[in-house]
């Protein structure tokens, strides 16, 4: 087996696949699925455009990242925060699907902002965990595996969920999409 393949097929690189997927899925939900849902429910493009402001937590996450280093949750500093954020993201995504954009747009805005905040917090924990997991020689490959898994995660809310939306009600689409947070939870537990 070539050296590059044996390096790629390790437990650590598999963990990088899971960290990338768990990190990317919520962002692409905000970028792809949420606007499509709002548009299909008759929300104006102007209002949908304002949802781009919800992405600010990704830019400002350095402000609360020291808190994740300072305070540990029951499973440990990294794994505890990963599990906490993944569970929170699952619940928020399910709750979003239970709302009606015509009646509950304000609540949807708050949940979307909370989703962005929890997703950015998950990014902090996942990045720190990946940095501690990988040695200096593995870091480049691990980061590239993570980034590719991050982008592949975009296919769930950007493609699969939109295809399901043609056949299923939106609450079911959000439930199915939320279930894709389970691999991140399993990774944190195992």
* Whether the Cβ atoms of residue 177 and residue 161 lie closer than 8 Å to each other: yes
The answer to whether the pTM exceeds 0.85 is yes
State residue 63's pLDDT score.
94
**Distance, CA of 122 to CA of 68 (rounded, Å):** 10
Query: Cα–Cα distances in Å, from 39 out to 48, 113, 163?
Result: 8, 18, 15
* Whether the Cβ atoms of residue 125 and residue 82 lie closer than 8 Å to each other: yes
State residue 137's pLDDT score.
87
Give 169: exposed, middle or buried? Use CB within 10 Å, 0-12, 13-18, 19+: exposed
State residue 8's pLDDT score.
72
Q: Within the chain, which residues score under 70 in pLDDT?
A: 3-4
State residue 4's pLDDT score.
64
Give 168: exposed, middle or buried? Use CB within 10 Å, 0-12, 13-18, 19+: middle
Phi and psi (nearest 5°) for 73?
A: -100, 170
State residue 55's pLDDT score.
85
**Distance, CA of 158 to CA of 189 (rounded, Å):** 27
**Distance, CA of 85 to CA of 80 (rounded, Å):** 9
């Amino acid at each position: 087996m070539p050296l590059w393949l044996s390096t790629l097929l390790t437990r650590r690189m598999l963990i990088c696949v899971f960290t990338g997927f768990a990190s990317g899925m919520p962002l692409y939900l905000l970028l792809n699925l949420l606007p499509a849902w709002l548009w299909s429910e008759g929300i104006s493009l102007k209002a949908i455009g304002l949802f781009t402001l919800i992405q600010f937590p990704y830019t400002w996450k350095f402000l609360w990242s020291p808190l994740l280093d300072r305070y540990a949750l029951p499973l440990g500093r990294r794994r505890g925060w990963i599990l906490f954020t993944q569970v929170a993201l699952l619940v928020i995504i399910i709750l979003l699907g239970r709302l009606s954009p015509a009646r509950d747009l304000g609540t949807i805005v708050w949940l979307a902002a909370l989703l962005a905040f929890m997703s950015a917090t998950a990014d902090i924990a996942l990045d720190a965990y990946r940095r501690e997991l990988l040695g200096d020689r593995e870091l480049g490959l691990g980061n590239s595996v993570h980034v590719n898994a991050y982008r592949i995660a975009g296919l769930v809310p950007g493609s699969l969920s939109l295809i399901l939306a043609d056949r299923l009600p939106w609450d079911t689409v959000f439930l199915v999409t939320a279930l894709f947070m389970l691999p991140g939870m399993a990774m944190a537990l195992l």
